[in-house]
């Protein structure tokens, strides 16, 4: 997803009013508002593939799966993003209409304009979320999936790269595996 900075600094209240009144989606990063622009067909296919798989596989488990248009709160009133796919643990009253607060897994599908932003800036902020166990980056230009898994100490993250369509990615905490063939269906191979 491409993005552009709209203005140098906004208050949270200004951002929230803009979000409530606009059809455009904006991320809010410590006072900066970033407009989220359209995506490519490959990006959309990959998001759809991953969402459909997680939605089906986690249907009977205690998770909700969201795609693209639901906001994720990283820190209180400082950082809000729109992850491409987000898996949230169902914890009683945490289901609100506007914000995801306890993600377990976040997927970002990369585009030319967001690769660096997603790999560095967003990941540094996502690491602050205590509930997050997995961060997945999916390339749209080639078969390349980068999976970060939080280690049991809760501080360190292990990185594993997948580049072959016959490979399988395991998410042990979710008791779930997904193949790269599923991720890249109708895109590659």
Would you say the C-alpha torsion 54, 57, 60, 62 has a positive or negative sign? negative
Confidence of residue 66 (pLDDT cuts 50, 70, 90): very high
Give the separation between CA 30 and CA 52, rounded to whole angstroms: 32
- Sheet containing strand 145-150, edge to edge, reads 63-67, 85-89, 103-109, 134-138, 145-150, 157-162
25 touches 69 (CB < 8 A): yes
Sorted by sequence, the CB contacts under 8 Å of residue 122 that are 6+ apart come out as 81, 108
Give the separation between CA 95 and CA 88, rounded to whole angstroms: 9
What's the pLDDT at 173?
Answer: 94
Over residues 62-79, the mean pLDDT reads 83
Q: DSSP 3-state assignment of 98?
A: coil
Q: What's the pLDDT tens digit per position in 139-185?
A: 999 999 999 999 998 889 999 999 999 999 999 999 999 999 999 99
Range from 33-37, 70-74, 148-152, 163-167 carrying the lowest mean pLDDT: 33-37
- Partner residues linked to 80 by β-bridges: 28, 73
**Is residue 77 over pLDDT 70?**
no
Confidence of residue 27 (pLDDT cuts 50, 70, 90): low
Over residues 46-71, the mean pLDDT reads 92
* Tokens read off for 187: 């895109």
What's the pLDDT at 1?
Answer: 45
> Taking the domain 39-183, which CATH number applies?
3.90.1570.10
């Amino acid at each position: 997803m491409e993005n552009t900075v709209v203005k140098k600094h906004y208050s949270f209240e200004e951002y929230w009013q803009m979000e409530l009144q606009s059809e455009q989606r904006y991320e809010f990063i410590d006072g900066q508002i970033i407009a989220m622009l359209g995506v490519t067909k490959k990006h959309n296919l990959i998001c759809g593939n991953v969402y459909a798989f997680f939605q089906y596989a986690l249907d009977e488990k205690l998770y909700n799966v969201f795609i693209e248009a639901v906001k994720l709160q990283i820190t209180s009133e400082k950082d809000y993003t729109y992850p491409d796919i987000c898996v949230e643990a169902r914890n009683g009253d945490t289901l609100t209409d506007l914000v995801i607060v306890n993600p377990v897994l976040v997927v970002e599908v990369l585009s030319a304009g967001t690769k660096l932003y997603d790999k560095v800036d967003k990941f540094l902020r996502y690491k602050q979320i205590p509930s997050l166990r997995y961060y997945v980056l999916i390339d749209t230009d080639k078969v390349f999936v980068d999976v970060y898994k939080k280690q049991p100490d809760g501080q360190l993250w292990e990185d594993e790269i997948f580049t072959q369509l016959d490979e399988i990615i395991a998410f042990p905490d979710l008791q779930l595996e997904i193949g790269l063939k599923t991720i890249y269906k109708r895109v590659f191979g």
